[in-house]
Amino acid sequence: MSEEIKNEKKEEETNPVAKAERVLEELKEANKEANLLNQRKEELIAREMLSGRSQAGTPSVEKKEETAKEYADRIMRGEQ
């Protein structure tokens, strides 16, 4: 039985059509998996947006540069 499998594999290797069909099937499976992963990712993003945890639309807080007087006052108060 193992010899039959070896013969089939040898035929596939020499037959370009069979090899192309095998590669095509592998690509179809990979595309199905990629589509599934994309769908899951879209669902997770939608859930984040609905739950309010998404980063879209949140303003970035810019740190105010401290003047020399503000720095001196902060040090004198004992803050770091």
Residue 51 confidence (pLDDT): 81
Give the CA dihedral 59, 63, 64, 69, nearest 10 degrees: 160
pLDDT confidence tier of residue 30, bands split at 50, 70 and 90: very high
Mind listing the pLDDT tens digit for each residue in 33-42? 999 999 999 9
pLDDT at 10 over 70: no
What is the domain extent for residue 30?
A: 2-77
Q: Which residue has the tokens 């089939």?
A: 8
d(CA 67, CA 78): 17
Give the number of domains in the chain: 1
pTM: 0.47
Please give the structure tokens belonging to residue 34. Answer: 């990629």
Please give the structure tokens belonging to residue 61. Answer: 């807080």
Residue 7 confidence (pLDDT): 63
pLDDT at 13 over 70: no
pLDDT at 53 over 80: no
